[in-house]
């Protein structure tokens, strides 16, 4: 299975709150799991990424949690800010290939 | 350093017309990709290229063609435009696919195409 399932489709969080976006996959041949952030009218940009041999990666307010046995990974945004309002995509890469398989995206709105 | 440049940004086509979306990157990346983005559907791979002269189909190639004559350029051709091709198209490039964790796709700003 090549699919990456992402939820929720949309998310509203108050300023200062924690935003959590979840993704699940079936194919154990995936070897790289990035998250992309997209602002309206712009192309997606890499936010943070993780390999399956690591359970957690943190960069500033953004953390990826990875559960290899459950084949799930999630993005946590701590102290969410209005400037974080964007669409977030999880993705996965098949080992030995270059292209990414994307989830359907989560539109995050952070209310002041 | 411009990154990935796409033209045009917007285009309206009539059914049956043809056009080419241009994509140029100045990062000397060997891999290039075309994705389409439809509301609520994420990004779907149309075609990709691992180097000059080499292209391959992605998940949704029907109705499109590509060529890669140089490292820098990867144009996407629509031969007979159909309303189903109304979408936002993104070109991307990356340096390496085989190094674990090194596959950072750099995207262009997108080309919004409407077929009426």
Distance from CA of A90 to the nearest CA of B (A): 9
Say how far apart CA B111 and CA A13 lie, in whole Å: 30
And the tokens for B62?
């029907």
Q: Cβ of B105 and A32 within 8 Å?
A: no
Q: How far does Cα A111 stand from its chain's mean position?
A: 20
- Whole-angstrom distance, CA of residue A34 vs CA of residue A64: 9
What are the structural domains, with CATH classification, of chain B? 4-98 (2.60.40.10)
- On chain A, the residues whose CB falls within 8 A of the CB of B74 are none
- Interface A–B counts its CB contacts (< 8 A) at 66
Percent of chain A at pLDDT above 90? 81
Could you tell me which of A52, A47, A2 has the C-alpha nearest to residue A25? A2
Q: Hey, which residues does A76 pair with through a beta bridge?
A: A20, A63
- Other CB atoms within 10 A of residue B17 CB: 14
At B85 the three-state DSSP class reads helix
Q: How is residue A10 written in tokens?
A: 């949309």
Pick the CATH number of A4-97 from 2.60.40.10, 3.30.420.110, 3.10.450.50, 1.10.1530.10: 2.60.40.10
Q: What is the C-alpha separation between A51 and A83, in angstroms, rounded?
A: 27
Name the residue in chain B with its Cα closest to that of A5: B42
Per-residue pLDDT of B83-110, as tens digits, reads 999 999 999 999 865 555 556 889 999 9
For residue B95, what is the nearest residue in chain A, using CA coordinates?
A: A98
Nearest Cβ partner for A100 among B100, B105, B110: B105
Chain A residues inside the 8 Å CB shell of B108: 43
Instruction: With beta carbons under 8 A apart, name residues in chain B contacting A45.
Output: 107
User: What pLDDT, on a 0 to 100 scale, did the predictor assign at position A20?
Assistant: 98
Each residue's pLDDT, cut to its tens digit, for chain A (112 residues) gives 569 999 999 999 999 999 999 999 999 889 889 999 999 999 999 999 998 889 999 999 999 999 999 999 999 999 999 999 999 999 998 877 778 899 999 999 999 9
Q: Which helix (H) or strand (E) holds B57?
A: strand B54-57
Output the six-digit token pair for B35: 């994705």
Closest-CA distance of chain A to residue B24, Å: 15
Q: How far is A104 from chain B (nearest CA, A)?
A: 4
Closest-CA residue of B relative to A2 is B59
Relative to beta strand B43-51, strand B31-37 is antiparallel
Sorted by sequence, the CB contacts under 8 Å of residue B109 that are 6+ apart come out as: A41, A42, A43, B6, B9
pLDDT tens profile A27-46 = 988 988 999 999 999 999 99
Q: How far is CA B47 from the centre of its chain?
A: 7
Question: Does A104 sit within 8 Å of B42, measured CB to CB?
Answer: yes
């Amino acid at each position: 299975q090549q699919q990456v399932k992402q939820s929720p489709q949309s998310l509203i969080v108050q300023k200062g709150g924690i935003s959590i976006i979840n993704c699940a996959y079936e194919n154990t041949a995936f070897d790289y799991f990035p998250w992309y952030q997209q602002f309206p009218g712009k192309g997606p940009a890499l936010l943070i990424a993780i390999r399956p041999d690591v359970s957690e990666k943190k960069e500033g307010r953004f953390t990826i949690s990875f559960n290899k046995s459950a084949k799930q990974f999630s993005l946590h945004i701590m102290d969410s800010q209005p400037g974080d309002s964007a669409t977030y995509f999880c993705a996965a890469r098949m080992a030995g290939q270059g292209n990414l398989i994307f989830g359907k995206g989560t539109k995050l709105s952070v209310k002041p | 350093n411009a990154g990935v440049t796409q033209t045009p940004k917007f285009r309206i086509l009539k059914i049956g017309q043809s056009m080419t979306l241009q994509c140029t990157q100045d990062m000397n990346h060997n891999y290039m990709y075309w994705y389409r983005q439809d509301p609520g559907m994420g990004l779907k791979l149309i075609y990709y290229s691992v180097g000059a002269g080499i292209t391959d189909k992605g998940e949704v190639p029907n109705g499109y063609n590509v060529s890669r004559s140089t490292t820098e350029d990867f144009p996407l051709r629509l031969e007979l435009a159909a309303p189903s091709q109304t979408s936002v198209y993104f070109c991307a490039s990356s340096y390496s696919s085989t190094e674990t964790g090194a596959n950072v796709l750099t995207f262009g700003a997108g080309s919004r195409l409407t077929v009426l």
